[in-house]
Amino acid sequence: MNRMRSCGAGAAPDKEGQESGGIRIQPLDSGDRPWAARFVAERRGTDHMVVHGTVYRPRDLPGFVALQGGERVGLVTYPMEKSTGQDDCEIVSLDSASPSRGIGTALRQAVVHAARQAACRRVWLVATNDNLDALRFYQKRGFRLVAVRPDAVEEARQLKPSIPQIGDHGIPIRDEIELAMYLDERRPRPQPGSGVRQEPGCGATDRRGVRAGAKRTLSALPGIFAVCRLHKDAGVPNWALQGRWWSVARTPDELSVVCPLRQVPKGVPCEPGRRCLQVAGPLDFTLTGVLAALATPLAEAGVSLFAVSTYDTDYILVKAADLQRATRALIQAGHAVTAG
C-alpha cells in the first residue's frame, strides 16, 4: 500500500480473525515521539500531513503505540474536539509496520475505547478517494461514509505541494472522503445531502434577533483563505486583488487583506487555513442580529470566526479544521449550510 502521502488517515489493512498474537497497546508518550516522527515519515514520505485544510504532525498528537515482541510496530494519532455536547475524536493517522497481522485493528479499537471513555459522540477520519484499502478497512469495522468533498486534495496541495497527483492503484488523488462511527445511537445520523452533514435543527433566530421560522442559508466557498496584515502605509499589492473573492481594508493601524491562501507570497504575516461561509443575500440594511444569530451557536461550539461584511451580505471565515464543527453548530441552530 502506498504510504508516500501527506493527506488523509491511512490504515494498514488487517484480515478478519487475525486480531490477536501478542499485540500490546500503550499510550504514546514523550519517549515515543521521536520514533513516531520517523515512523510516519518512512511510510508517508513526510512527518506531517494535510487533512481537511489543517496541517498535522502526528508526533505532537495524542495517540497509541502498538508493540509486539518488545518492538514498536504501529501508531495511531487522534486529536479530540471539545465543544458543547458535541465531542468528536478524529483519527488523523494510522500506520502499521506489518499489514494483515491485526495491528491496525488493535489500534483502532484503542481509539474507539478512548473515545467512549471521553463520552465522545463519534470517531471520524478522512481518507482520499484513491485509498481503497483504508475505505475497506474502516467500513468493515463499523464506519460509514458520511461526506465527500470533491477536489479537497487540490486545496490541500496549496499547503503541501508535494502531495502526489496519482495515488494507490493508479487513481488520481482528488477528493476527501469522510467516514464516521457514531458511538451514541441516540444522536442523529447524517442525512443525504451535498456532502455537508445535515442534522436536524432546534429552532432559529432570525435577522431581527427574535425567534422565528426564517432561517439563514450559508454556502461554503471553495478554496482555503488567509487573513493577512500589512503595514499601515503599504500599497495594496497586486496579489491581493486576484481571484473571485478577496477583501481589502485599511485602518490607521494596518492594511488587512483576505484572499485565497495560494496567492499569498511567502513571508507575509497572515493567519492561513481559513474556510469561508457566505450568507445568502442580499440583506436589507435595516435588519439587525444577523451576525449575532450566527456567532452565538459558533461561540457555544468553541469556534472562533472572522467576519467580513459587504453591501449585499456577510461572510464568516473559520479555521478549516473547525468547518465541520461550525457546520454542525449552525445546522443545529436552525440554519442551512450547503457545500460551495
**Domain range summary for the chain, segments of one domain joined by +:** 23-182, 217-338
In this prediction, residue 243 carries a pLDDT of 83
In this prediction, residue 327 carries a pLDDT of 87
Higher pLDDT, 205 or 32: 32
Cβ–Cβ < 8 Å for 279, 218: yes
In this prediction, residue 186 carries a pLDDT of 47
Cβ–Cβ < 8 Å for 44, 10: yes
Q: Which of 61, 13, 301 shows the shortest CA–CA distance to 168?
A: 13
State what percent of residues in the chain have pLDDT above 90: 28
Give the three cell numbers for residue 9: 488517515
Higher pLDDT, 255 or 338: 255
Which pTM was predicted?
A: 0.56
What rounded mean pLDDT belongs to the chain? 79
Q: Does domain 217-338 have CATH number 3.30.2130.10?
A: yes
In this prediction, residue 210 carries a pLDDT of 33
pLDDT of 213 above 50: no
In this prediction, residue 139 carries a pLDDT of 93
User: How does DSSP classify residue 190?
Assistant: P
What's the whole-number mean pLDDT along residues 104-127?
90
At the topology level, CATH places domain 23-182 in Aminopeptidase (3.40.630)
pLDDT of 15 above 90: no
Q: Alpha carbon of 281 to those of 236, 285, 323: distances in Å?
A: 28, 11, 21
Give the three cell numbers for residue 89: 475524536
What's the whole-number mean pLDDT along residues 290-309?
89
Measured between alpha carbons, how far is 146 from 284 in angstroms, rounded to an integer?
Answer: 36
Cβ–Cβ < 8 Å for 214, 234: no
Q: Which of 52-61, 208-217, 298-307 has the highest mean predicted lDDT (pLDDT)?
A: 298-307
Give the three cell numbers for residue 225: 483563505
What's the whole-number mean pLDDT along residues 272-277?
90
pLDDT of 242 above 90: no
In this prediction, residue 58 carries a pLDDT of 81
- CB count within 10 Å of CB 163 equals 23
In this prediction, residue 256 carries a pLDDT of 93
Cβ–Cβ < 8 Å for 279, 315: yes
Cβ–Cβ < 8 Å for 131, 91: no
pLDDT of 241 above 80: yes
Cβ contacts of residue 39 below 8 Å, gap of 6+?
Answer: 72, 75, 95, 97
Q: How confident is the model at residue 84 (pLDDT cuts 50, 70, 90)?
A: very low
User: How does DSSP classify residue 205?
Assistant: B
In this prediction, residue 255 carries a pLDDT of 94
H helices present in the chain, as ranges: 33-44, 103-117, 132-139, 152-159, 290-300, 323-332
Measured between alpha carbons, how far is 329 from 326 in angstroms, rounded to an integer?
Answer: 5
In this prediction, residue 10 carries a pLDDT of 52
pLDDT of 5 above 90: no
pLDDT of 11 above 70: no
Q: How confident is the model at residue 257 (pLDDT cuts 50, 70, 90)?
A: very high
Cβ contacts of residue 141 below 8 Å, gap of 6+?
Answer: 105, 108, 181
Cβ–Cβ < 8 Å for 254, 244: no
In this prediction, residue 195 carries a pLDDT of 41
What's the whole-number mean pLDDT along residues 192-206?
36
